[in-house]
Amino acid sequence: MKATSPVDAGKRRTTLLLAGLAVGMFAFGFALVPLYNLICQATGLQSVAVRSNGGPGAVRTGGTVVDNTREVVVKFDTSVHPNLPWEFAATQQRLQVVPGQMYEVIFKARNRSSSQVVGQAIPSIVPWQATPYFNKLECFCFNRQLLEGGESTDMPLRFVVSPDLPEGINSLTLAYSFLKLDEDAAPNRTNAISSATAVKSATPKGKSDVSTGT
């Protein structure tokens, strides 16, 4: 294409500019990869790894920041509803924790009856103001628990106390109460929970079913 007339020169210039813009936007897509992390870190918008000062509704985990200047006491309390024939207790009654660091505590449960029983643990935190800052990474309370007659099990809890925990709180209590899930009495609720569990446990299997095709 020879640029002979002014119109042709104009066409040529516009075409090149626009082609450059398209290529530039393609590059911009890739530039977003590092930019995305930078923006999220700078503004605390969101990233899976780092979430910090959000608003009141945001989840506060503190991420990887460890605040070594503070120590907080976490106490564990357990109770079992009378309808559940189980023993349930934490292996530790209390733990000194550094905010931002991860801890693991084992809870023991034993089925005293001779038949299969399904239970569900319900957590609560005192004082309640600390609830958004107590982040459970793994908890037996996420799923229902099934114990055969006479079976006993060790159940782990992994948690991080966020460094954003308000200054006034130096001690908090995590209380679990274990309830029996009665399949007949509350069918809807049981179904909802069991289907949620089924999805979770099916994920690794589903993953292997999906061939990568490579």
Partner 1 sequence: MSTTTMTHDEAHHHGAPTGWKRWLYSTNHKDIGTLYLLFALVMLFLGGASAMMIRAELFMPGIQLIDPDLYNNLVTNHALLMIFGAVMPAAAGLANWMIPLMIGAPDMALPRMNNLSFWILPAAATMLILSFVVPFFPGGGTQINTGWTIYPPLSVQVGMSMDFLIFAIHLLGVSSVLASINIIVTLLNMRAPGMTLMKMPMFCWTWLVTAFLLILVVPVLAGGVTMLLFDRHFGTSFFDAAGGGDPVLFQHLFWFFGHPEVYILLLPSIGVLSHVIPTFARKPLFGYRSMVGAMLAVATIGMVVWAHHQYTIGMSLGAVTYFMVGTILISIPVGLMVFNFIATMWRGAMTFETPMLFAVGIILMFTFGGLSGVMLAVVPADMQYHDSMFVVAHFHYVLMPGAVFGLFAGVFYWLPKWTGNMYDERLGKLFFWINVIGFNITFFPQHFLGLAGMPRRIIDYNVMFTEFNVLSSIGAMIFGLSHLLFLYIVIQTIRGGKSLKRSGAKSWEGAKGLEWEVDSPPAFHTWETAPQIK
Q: Which residues bind partner 1 (CB under 8 A)?
A: 7, 10-11, 14-15, 18-19, 21-30, 32-33, 36-37, 43-49, 51, 53-59, 207, 210-214
Nearer to partner 1, 47 or 197 (CB): 47
Q: Which helix (H) or strand (E) holds 102?
A: strand 102-111
Instruction: Please tell me the distance from the alpha carbon of residue 20 to that of residue 30, in angstroms, as a whole number.
Output: 16
Work out how close the CB of 56 gets to partner 1 at its nearest, in angstroms, rounded to a whole number: 7
Nearer to partner 1, 21 or 202 (CB): 21
Residue 55 structure tokens: 């608003």
Instruction: Please tell me the distance from the alpha carbon of residue 4 to that of residue 104, in angstroms, as a whole number.
Output: 77
Nearer to partner 1, 168 or 206 (CB): 206
Work out how close the CB of 40 gets to partner 1 at its nearest, in angstroms, rounded to a whole number: 9
Work out how close the CB of 119 gets to partner 1 at its nearest, in angstroms, rounded to a whole number: 28
| 30-60-136 Cα angle (round to 5) | 105
Nearer to partner 1, 36 or 151 (CB): 36
Sorted by sequence, the CB contacts under 8 Å of residue 153 that are 6+ apart come out as 108, 109, 110, 145, 147
Instruction: Please tell me the distance from the alpha carbon of residue 45 to that of residue 64, in angstroms, as a whole number.
Output: 16
Nearer to partner 1, 23 or 106 (CB): 23
Work out how close the CB of 54 gets to partner 1 at its nearest, in angstroms, rounded to a whole number: 4
Q: Closest Cα to residue 90, out of 175, 181, 161?
A: 175
Nearer to partner 1, 10 or 127 (CB): 10
* Alpha-helical segments (H) within 67-130: none
Residue 66 and residue 162 in contact, taking contact as beta carbons nearer than 8 Å:
no
Work out how close the CB of 136 gets to partner 1 at its nearest, in angstroms, rounded to a whole number: 16
Residue 61 and residue 32 in contact, taking contact as beta carbons nearer than 8 Å:
no
Work out how close the CB of 107 gets to partner 1 at its nearest, in angstroms, rounded to a whole number: 28
